[in-house]
Amino acid sequence: MGSVPVYPWRLAPDGLATYRQLRAKGLRPGGSSVVAQLERPRRRREPLVAYLYSLDAAKPVRPMTPAKWAALAKANAARRICPTCGHDRGYVIPTSLGQCVRCADSRALAA
Ligand SMILES: [Zn+2]
């Protein structure tokens, strides 16, 4: 850092926002770049610094909704179900076997 413009507190140009201001709008910094910083002088101390992000580059925060969690849980559950015996084995069916270990074992024994 050190190459970004520094503005006095409350004099940030339009189109820039701090991380907290972005979150308040339901946004997050797009990319990772701090485009400017604000400094508030403090008596006998280092100035207070706030990093500013571009509002144009900001992206909406996509929180996990209950429906998304449910869909994820369902997808994970489906990956635990053996296509051969139809049991939820409690672990993800190995793609190398294409079925649960028990089914793969019994087929190996039968062969
Ligand atoms: Zn099975």
For residue 57, which of 22, 31, 39 has the smallest C-alpha distance?
Answer: 31
Model confidence band, residue 111 (pLDDT cutoffs 50, 70, 90): low
Q: How far apart are the first and last CA of the chain?
A: 65
| Dist CA 6 CA 51 (whole Å) | 9
CA 74 to ligand 1 center in whole angstroms? 19
**Secondary structure (H, E, C), the chain:** CCCCCEEECCCCCCCEEEHHHHHHCCEECCCCCCCEEEEEEECCEEEEEEEEEECCCCEECCCCCHHHHHHHHHHHHHHHECCCCCCECCCCCCCCCCCCHHHHHHHHHHC
What pLDDT sits at residue 35?
Answer: 92
Ligand 1 is a single-atom ion; what residues have CB below 5 A from it?
82, 84-85, 99-100, 103
Confidence check: pLDDT of 31 > 90: no
pLDDT digits (tens, 9 = 90+) for 64-87: 788 888 988 888 889 999 999 999
Average pLDDT for 88-106: 92
What pLDDT sits at residue 10?
Answer: 81
**How large a percentage of the chain has pLDDT more than 90?**
50
Confidence check: pLDDT of 53 > 90: yes
CA 73 to ligand 1 center in whole angstroms? 20
